Amino acid sequence: MELREHLGLSFIDGEWVKGEGREVDNIDPGNLSLIGKFRECSSEQIRAAVDSAEEGFREMRKLTAKERSKILKSIAENVEKRFEEIARNLSQEGGKVLADAKYETMRCIQTFTIASEEAKRIEGEVLPMDAWDVPNISNRFGFTRREPVGIIAAIVPFNFPLLMPAHKIAPALAAGNSVVLKPSSDVPYSACKLFECMLDAGVPKKAINLVYGEGSTISEPLIGNKKVRMVVFTGSTATGKRIAEVAGRDAKKLSFEMGGKNPLIIFDDANLEDALAGALRGGYTHAGQVCIATGRILVHEKIYDEFLKKLVERASNRKVGYQLDANTEMGPLINKGRIDAVSAYVEEAREKGLKILCGGKRLSKNEVGYEGYYYAPTVIADVSQNDRIAKEEIFGPVLPVMRFSTIEEAIGIANSLPYGLSSAVYTQSMEKAFRCIEQLDSGGVSINDPTAIRADQAPFGGFKSSGLGREGLKYAIEEMTEIKMVYWKKYS
């Protein structure tokens, strides 16, 4: 079978199959052309995928650490062999600028490579049972082992259609689990290409299953399926809470990376050029459709006007265009629903009299050269804590800018929301930097770097309503394994 024929198919029980649910168009968001069509899965197909994963798990747990490591390394090599093709497809269907699509593809390769090493480092520990003089305990030999959880349901969003599946699947396979992946219906082909690379690498066919579907379709047959022992999810906090309710009925393990309203704090001693670069990267990479995008900029009052003037100038000059064009700096939003949501936030701000200093509108074909879901890079000034755009995740190219006068005020504003995913601080003062590190309620803090920074080998996740558990290969493997305690009586 030609590789192209797999695009839009599900992979269930070791076979590429056509979905039995509704037909969906795969649309290029940059020019609204039809890339192709695919069908979502029926509830029966999703149950079949879980049944297949049950068999696949029995195969996976028999593999040695060396065998799992070799497979994961081969997946990375297969993605690398098809680098240009995979990156270009990602860019086209996801609306991501080609350079960023290539960067994501590189990180996908890196993630599977790191996982191949971590597969050989899954260790238990020996416990000194004679450390305490407790009757009937001290004459035991005690040790722990880490064992795979079982079937893992992985639900991922549109914005990183290679990297997000990689961060779910790679550690799962490294630990000996099986996976049922449900990607976003906005980017179906990227998952197909990744599955081709995995199958060519020798992953047991029933250990990985690919299904498509929306909330009501997948909820009971996948998340509520008693055979599924863990759910890993990236997406909004609201969706995560609904998934947790279903998964909680069977006390499944959960690892969630959810919403954020990430603050970027700029003190008056900051390197302004670095701070501007961080704001632009954090606010406009992938048109702001990044979970660790900058959601609020807090600027010290002494440099507020100067920073704002330069930010508006650079945001206004940012080149918006078709994602595959070489000179494009920012591409489209993913779909009509997303651009409508962004527009609604900005229009509400306009109606309330907030200062929209640049952008604040959908871009026409005459302005971009293409009919697509394009929104202008937007800066909104003099925003207060009570404004909706300062409290809710916009997931678009909109930067609300606020002013502060003291470090206490900045930290208080940053911590005032129920989110805590990523924070960034620009300052030349070690004292301010360490105070922010200690007091900011977020899973990651960047000093003189953007909010939108992540290393694939590092722990990644949020505080409060931004997440449960941690990703990052070593840390994800810990989440995806169970600890078994063994007591061994040495003598009578």
Task: Please list the active-site residues.
Answer: 257, 291
CB 176 within 8 A of CB 485: no
* Residue 137 to residue 141: CA distance in whole angstroms: 9
Instruction: Enumerate the H helices of 317-425 as residue ranges.
Output: 336-351, 365-368, 407-414
Q: Contact, 31 vs 322, CB < 8 A?
A: yes
Query: Which residues lie closer than 8 Å to 128 by C-beta, 6 or more apart?
Result: 142
Name every residue whose Cβ is closer than 8 Å to that of residue 239 and which is 6 or more positions away in sequence.
215, 233
Q: 90, 96 in Cβ contact below 8 A?
A: yes
> CB-based contacts of 181: which residues, under 8 Å, 6+ apart?
154, 156, 165, 168, 169, 191, 208, 209, 210, 211
Q: Give the integer Cα–Cα distance in Å for 127 and 141.
A: 8
CA distance 255 to 250: 15
Of 459, 429, 464, 456, the C-alpha closest to 444 is 459
Residue indicated by tokens 């501007």:
276
Alpha-carbon distance of 358 to 256, in angstroms, equals 35
Q: Which residues pair with 161 in a beta bridge?
A: none
* The token pair that represents 21 in the structure block: 């649910």
| Residues 63, 406: Cα–Cα separation, whole Å | 57
Query: In 98-162, where does DSSP find H-type helix?
Result: 98-118
Q: What is the DSSP letter of 363?
A: P
CB 25 within 8 A of CB 189: no
